[in-house]
Structure 1
Amino acid sequence: MSTQQTVSADACVVIDCNEWIRLKWLGSPIGLTLIAALKRDRSLRLAIPEILGGELDKHRAETASSLLRRLRDVSADIGTVTGDHLAAGMVTLTEESVEVLIRERLLPIAEQAFYPDMTLEEVRRALIKVNAEVPPNGPKNQQMKDSLLWESCVTLAGKYCVYLITGDKAFYRDRHAEKGLAENLSSEPAVKDGRLKVFPSLESALQVFAPESSADSGEIVSRNSRDLIAEEASNAFLRSSVAADIPEARLRLRGVVPTYFRTEVPHVFATSFTAFFNVEQDAEAEGKGEAAVSGECRLDTRQATIDSVSLHSIHWRLPDAAGGVAKVYEVLDGRVGD
């Protein structure tokens, strides 16, 4: 059950469920950057509206169940290939204990998190959007939860500057984040007054509400950091399920675009990246394909190493014999490298 809390803060961050999952429940390098930013700025709060809290509870349980199932499968495989059947019993974690550990990620900023209750007025406003079939809804596409999340943010914007972070296409014009908010949402007073700002990713939002978290590329003294990122992106792409469709393909790096964020360790940076490749197929194939691999990692400039690599998306296309696009792939949610 959520509890209404009175918080005297200038701004609050609302993170949609899709971002919590993408950022591994704020345990990824970029997620930890947010926690560090909140610890630095005590006037900034993390708001979890009631409608969002229920969805997070559901997906937190699903995450714990999925992770343990995969861990047990691996343990069973180890037992099979080694003959040591005790390996299957090595996993002592329970789903409940994993859920608790995920929740404890917020302990360092517990005093800055609050949980606004849903109001009847928010429900009424959300129903109007649902019945009118306007974003975040659409024709024959009722999105009550998204509508309620939006109205919760509108209510919060009456008291705070709200930063809503969501990758949900339903909020954006023509379902494309690069085009900005859907017209009916962008015309709302809270948005026009600048009290409600919407971002498709935490990375883009951090540069606005926590600019001190951003690191200039000149601070990155590791000369081969881009090479390290490109290598990790290439390896992860080749491990992905979609790459199996072009087993003879070779990747030719076109470039890497990294964005660096400071952590609590001076020489360690959370890094969001997109690496671009040409996909060269076998000799009989026509033309070249293209691939863009996006994700995040942790860069240690002192050791010149990268770890905690997490892929968020792979986009790639292959041409057909006539020079058109034969296939376009989008693999999302961080599981592309499994």
Structure 2
Amino acid sequence: MSEVRDSASLPICVVLDCNEWIRLKWLGSAVGLTFISAMQSDPTISMAIPEVLESELNKHRAETARALLDRLHNVIDEINVVGGDITLGGVITTTEEEIDVAIRERLSAIRKQVLYPEMDVGETRRALQRVNAETAPNGHKNQQMKDSLLWEACLSLSAVYRVFFVTGDTGFYTNRDIRKGLAVNLAAEIPVQQGRLRVFSSLEEAVPAFAPEIAVDRGELASVGGRDLIAARAQEAFRRSPVATDLQPAIALRGVVPQYLRTEVPHVFAVSFSAFFLINNGIEDRPHGDAVVVGQCRLDAREASIDAVTLEAIHWTLSDPGGGMSKVREVVDVSL
């Protein structure tokens, strides 16, 4: 019991899985920047990028830079074709390397708080045992050596820190379902039982746990009208998406569920939101269903305005009028 009590006095260390870095636009989203600000305000908080994670981040950061530049070139080419002028869209001078470096530089403000633990032989052996035993984050015929190494790195860190591991990877959860909580074998680990290692599916959930002063009661902003602002922007994004382009649906708002975090500016809040819509509700001869637009933005309560909107995904389900099978699609990396 003494170890459990002592764990509360350990310094805090945050580990963000690769999927979370990507979801948070490499910490450039409203929630990502709020996290960096929280670290700046509390120098005792560290962030660890274990060796296995660093190599994966390097790979995906380069892929992100390449994909963004490709999209930019495609848009410029289309402008030139539509306008009949090969110079109309301008000249792109930005390189993949410059985008990569710019992403890396985001950590410059907290550089002294970032740790880069190296793998050791013990971690590698234990990770291999997990793979061979097919226990989470692995599964039957589903070998996840990198995830196993990352978990072992978190366990090692938990000997010195209170570790907050943030991952949306379903392999770490019971029956690959985040809603069911951490996988049984992982939940039984001693550091987890003692509170030295905690797992969260998103940074929005994790930040209030190690920086409670940032959390905001939803009722505090009820009079600002933020939900209406978010709903309007989410609906606009939905209508611009490939989903709406293909279907031309009638869309009706069901509701918005926001989660607020305080930023360094008292009247500005980082918002993570899900906006729910009905599709073709009551129109008998058209497919009908529902959709969820998931994203982040920044809310200025003083100006009653939002900006810095980023979208993570649009999830939607449709059923044909005759009661046939439903279709479920997901559009990720949606641009406004």
Taking structure 2 as the reference length, the TM-score comes to 0.92
Q: How many residues align?
A: 328
- Aligned counterpart, 2:4: none
The root-mean-square deviation of aligned C-alpha atoms, in Å, is 2.0
The CA distance in 1 between the partners of 2:274 and 2:257, in whole Å, is: 5
- Aligned counterpart, 1:34: 35
The CA distance in 1 between the partners of 2:123 and 2:281, in whole Å, is: 53
Residue 296 of structure 1 aligns to which amino acid in structure 2? Answer: Q
- Aligned counterpart, 1:275: 275
Residue 195 of structure 2 aligns to which amino acid in structure 1? Answer: G
What pairs with 1:130-145 in structure 2 (closer than 5 Å)? 130-145=131-146
Percent of matched pairs sharing the same residue: 55
Secondary structure at 2:108 match in 1: helix
Is the aligned partner of 1:312 residue 2:312?
yes
Secondary structure at 2:303 match in 1: coil
Residue 274 of structure 1 aligns to which amino acid in structure 2? Answer: S
* Cα pair 1:270 1:298 within 8 Å, conserved: yes
The CA distance in 1 between the partners of 2:75 and 2:288, in whole Å, is: 37
Residue 283 of structure 1 aligns to which amino acid in structure 2? Answer: I
Distance change in 2, residues 1:238/1:88 (3 Å): closer
**Which moves more between the two structures, 235-244 or 79-88?**
79-88
Secondary structure at 2:138 match in 1: coil
- Deviation digits for residues 206-240 of structure 1, max 9, x if unmatched? 12111111223344376321111001111112222
* Cα pair 1:11 1:43 within 8 Å, conserved: yes
What pairs with 1:151-300 in structure 2 (closer than 5 Å)? 151-220=152-221, 223-247=224-248, 249-280=249-280, 283-285=283-285, 288-300=288-300
Structure 1: unaligned runs, 5 residues or longer: 1-7
The CA distance in 1 between the partners of 2:147 and 2:22, in whole Å, is: 16
Residue 304 of structure 1 aligns to which amino acid in structure 2? Answer: A
Q: How far off its partner does 1:313 sit?
A: 2.3
The CA distance in 1 between the partners of 2:280 and 2:106, in whole Å, is: 43
What pairs with 1:26-175 in structure 2 (closer than 5 Å)? 26-87=27-88, 90-175=91-176
Secondary structure at 1:315 match in 2: strand
* Cα pair 2:154 2:197 within 8 Å, conserved: yes
Structure 2: unaligned runs, 5 residues or longer: 1-8
Distance change in 2, residues 1:95/1:322 (3 Å): same
Residue 294 of structure 1 aligns to which amino acid in structure 2? Answer: V
Is the aligned partner of 1:336 residue 2:334?
yes
The CA distance in 1 between the partners of 2:285 and 2:326, in whole Å, is: 12
Residue 250 of structure 2 aligns to which amino acid in structure 1? Answer: R
Distance change in 2, residues 1:68/1:127 (3 Å): same
Taking structure 1 as the reference length, the TM-score comes to 0.91
- Aligned counterpart, 1:301: 301
Q: How far off its partner does 1:87 sit?
A: 4.5
Q: How far off its partner does 1:337 sit?
A: 3.8
Structure 1 stretches of 4+ with a deviation exceeding 6 A read none
- Deviation digits for residues 2-40 of structure 1, max 9, x if unmatched? xxxxxx970100000011011011000000010011011
* Cα pair 1:76 1:87 within 8 Å, conserved: no
The CA distance in 1 between the partners of 2:255 and 2:126, in whole Å, is: 46
Residue 258 of structure 2 aligns to which amino acid in structure 1? Answer: P
Q: How far off its partner does 1:314 sit?
A: 2.0
Secondary structure at 1:70 match in 2: helix
Distance change in 2, residues 1:325/1:58 (3 Å): same
The CA distance in 2 between the partners of 1:61 and 1:155, in whole Å, is: 28
**Which moves more between the two structures, 321-330 or 86-95?**
321-330
Q: How far off its partner does 1:45 sit?
A: 0.3
- Aligned counterpart, 1:4: none
**Which moves more between the two structures, 295-304 or 180-189?**
295-304
Q: How far off its partner does 1:285 sit?
A: 3.1
Secondary structure at 1:256 match in 2: strand
